[in-house]
Amino acid sequence: MRIGTKMIVGYILLIVIPFLFFAIFVYAQLNEKLTTQYKLANQQNIEQLAVNLDASFLKIESLYSIYQNNSALIDYLRGNELNDRDLIYSYLKDISPAFSFASLAEVQIDNLTVYPKTQRKMLTVSGFKPYEEGRDKLTDAELGALSPKEGLWKRAKTDGTLSLVFYHKIYNDLYSNDLGILAISVRSTLVEDFVQSLRSMHPGNAVLLTDADGQTIYRSIDNEKNIEAIDDAARRVHAGEKEHVNARFILNSAPIKQLGWTVIEINPRESLFHLFRVKQWWLVGGGVLLLLLSALYYAILSSLTKRMLLLSRHMRRVGPDWLGHSYAGPVGKDEFGYLISNYNAMIARMDELVNRVQKVEILKKDAEFKMLQAQIQPHFLYNTLETMRMLARANGDSTVSEMAYSLGNLMRYSLSRKDNTTLGEEWEYLRQYLAIHEIRMPDLQIEWEKDEAATSIPCPRFILQPLVENSILHGLSKRRGGKLVSIRMAVQGEFVIIIVADNGTGISDDRMKLLQQKLRDNNGYDEGGISETEGIGLSNVLQRVKAYFGPLSSLAIESKLGEGTVCTLKLYLEERDHAKLDDH
């Protein structure tokens, strides 16, 4: 990919796409936040207005107690025998003022009527009507629902207005018999004003009232095309969904408890997000500006990368046979021009050096050829040792024969080009190595303990021999008397444990601290008495084991002065498949 293309792709990936994702994220968060706030504000508003309307209905219902406790009205409804003069006096003094109080206490009351059940006098007087007329306005179920503690709100049969009537039975003093029906008529403006107050707060909304069965009682809507959506909203509320938001509308509802109705307000989303759409245009403008800036960036980028592209085309043609041709395009005086000038100088210098290197290579080849002529091949050494072994056996010297045989095996293993081996092969190599020392040191005893399950495990080469070599050279060589080396190998869980112990002279505390520090840091020490073979061999084993088996592998050394030394090598088996050959 050309560098100009990479810079454009990088600009898109690092600037344009994150900018767009951020803009979309901010838009979504702002959209959700505004919608939630709008829903909560609308819900609080509609619930407050519904509570106020309920309070008005409750106030109207409370007027019933005035007429239930009016003794003159009760005496009249019971039919107590009064002459006409006393009856008219009681009506004018106690009953008529009570009827007039209703409209004074609540301006929304249109009329108050009592339907006497048995009394037939004064039915033509204002405030009284025949019982049958009131009975016809109620069904049997509605009449049965009236009790001393419960009244009934019912919509009046009018020309589509929201006129309501509150019905309640009037009882005798003991509430044992009902004496008539009280009907309080409420003006339609009470509910209509409530609906208009909702509509005035959010112009363009729709308001509807539903009864307990989910049937629509009243609608207030500007656009008749949305009737189906409004009816669907009513069904959602009746199903128990208090708040609802879809792609077109935001719905809020609240109960009118005294009537058993539900008021539903539906607001179109476009009315809410009119101002937000203006901000959307700002986002669109920002996108257009981003495109213009991107085009300007591309133009500037092209002017800057033109010389770079020409130089790269020239460099593609550069080869061993084309070094004498320097870049001949525009150079310039900026930093890139400085690079071009130095590139031309470098090409001239390289051409000069190539000619010189060619002469040096010819001389080097000649020297290597002469050196190869003088080189002794390993096979010559193998054959010589085998000849010596056969001669020793022919002369009856089995010790020399066995030593030559072990030494030949050691040379073959050491000069092998394999990068890795197995613990079984390492074990056998160690036997050959110690066989030579047993011949050299007659008082040396070897104890072997091997777990066959560990022999097939792959491992780097030469990880056991340095441990035994340290025991012999630094521990047993200074000991007089019997010398013992114990070598144990076993599989324990996720580890292979290899222990090399000797009964040598041991290591002093000061030297042990320096040695352990060297194993931890993997660096050399010029002071403190740590020899080259003692420190480097163990550190080399530890580093290769960690590279091959993983960092959980370890090498621990314990020693007591005059008693001996124990080396414990732990190989972690779980990570050996991840080792690379060049880690050996």
pLDDT tens for 189-224 read 888 888 888 888 777 788 888 887 777 778 787 766
Rounded-to-integer distance, Cα 275 and Cα 298, Å: 35
In the beta sheet, which residues pair with residue 122? none
Angle at 548 between CA 547 and CA 551, to 5 degrees: 55
Q: What is the DSSP string of 321-338?
A: T-TT----S---SSHHHH
417: its two tokens: 């080009």
CB atoms within 10 A of CB 140: 8
| pLDDT for the residue 423 | 93
- The predicted-structure confidence for 18-33, as pLDDT tens digits, reads as follows 877 877 777 677 777 7
Residue 530 · residue 446 · CB < 8 Å:
no
Rounded-to-integer distance, Cα 429 and Cα 579, Å: 23
- Write out the E strands in 241-315: 244-245, 249-256, 261-268
Residue 436 domain flag? no
Q: How far is CA 254 from CA 262, 278, 379, in A?
A: 6, 32, 102
Rounded to an integer, the average pLDDT of 505-528 is 74
Rounded-to-integer distance, Cα 115 and Cα 181, Å: 5
More confident position, 374 or 233: 233
In the beta sheet, which residues pair with residue 568? 499, 556
The verdict on 207 and 261 lying in the same domain is yes
Residue 148 domain flag? yes
The verdict on 66 and 210 lying in the same domain is yes
Rounded-to-integer distance, Cα 561 and Cα 154, Å: 110
| pLDDT for the residue 555 | 93
Give the residue from 224, 251, 276 where a domain finishes: 276
| pLDDT for the residue 267 | 79
Rounded-to-integer distance, Cα 28 and Cα 95, Å: 66
The verdict on 477 and 350 lying in the same domain is no
Cβ burial, residue 162 (10 Å; 0-12/13-18/19+):
buried
Of 98-107, 193-202, 281-290, 406-415, the least confident: 406-415
Of 18-27, 134-143, 148-157, 250-259, the least confident: 18-27
> What is the CATH classification number for the domain harbouring 104?
3.30.450.20
Residue 527 domain flag? no
More confident position, 496 or 93: 496
CA gyration radius for the chain?
54
The verdict on 269 and 342 lying in the same domain is no
Residue 527 · residue 518 · CB < 8 Å:
no
Range of the domain at 170: 41-276
The verdict on 492 and 577 lying in the same domain is yes
203: left (phi over 0), alpha (psi -120 to 50) or beta: beta
The verdict on 253 and 326 lying in the same domain is no
Residue 431 domain flag? no
The verdict on 237 and 322 lying in the same domain is no
The verdict on 247 and 359 lying in the same domain is no
Which one, of 537, 554, 556, 538, lies nearest residue 546 by Cα?
A: 554
Give the residue from 245, 276, 307 where a domain finishes: 276
Residue 76 · residue 91 · CB < 8 Å:
yes
- Collapsing DSSP to helix, strand or coil, 482 comes out as coil
The verdict on 511 and 451 lying in the same domain is yes
Torsion of CA 431, 433, 439, 441, to 10 degrees: -100
The verdict on 190 and 79 lying in the same domain is yes
In the beta sheet, which residues pair with residue 180? 116, 170
- The predicted-structure confidence for 370-412, as pLDDT tens digits, reads as follows 444 444 445 445 556 666 667 777 777 777 777 777 777 766 6
Token match 């580093």: residue? 543
Rounded to an integer, the average pLDDT of 61-82 is 84
The verdict on 104 and 165 lying in the same domain is yes
- The predicted-structure confidence for 567-577, as pLDDT tens digits, reads as follows 999 999 875 55
171: its two tokens: 């009882």
* 249: Cβ contacts below 8 Å, ≥ 6 apart: 229, 233, 266, 267, 268, 269
Residue 223 domain flag? yes
Rounded-to-integer distance, Cα 541 and Cα 426, Å: 13
| pLDDT for the residue 533 | 45
Confidence check: pLDDT of 323 > 70 = no
For 116, the enclosing helix (H) or strand (E) is strand 109-116
> What is the CATH classification number for the domain harbouring 553?
3.30.565.10
Rounded-to-integer distance, Cα 485 and Cα 505, Å: 13
Q: What is the DSSP string of 524-540?
A: --SSSS--HHHHHHHHH
Residue 173 domain flag? yes
Rounded to an integer, the average pLDDT of 329-354 is 75
DSSP single-letter state for residue 321? T
Helices 378-394 and 398-414 pack at an angle, to 10 degrees, of 160
- Collapsing DSSP to helix, strand or coil, 259 comes out as coil
**Structural domains in the chain (count):** 3
The verdict on 352 and 249 lying in the same domain is no
Question: pLDDT grade, residue 452 (50/70/90)?
Answer: very high
What's at 145, amino acid-wise? A
Residue 52 domain flag? yes
- Whether the model pTM is above 0.75: no
Share of the chain above pLDDT 90, in %: 12
Give the residue from 375, 391, 421 where a domain finishes: 375
Residue 18 domain flag? no
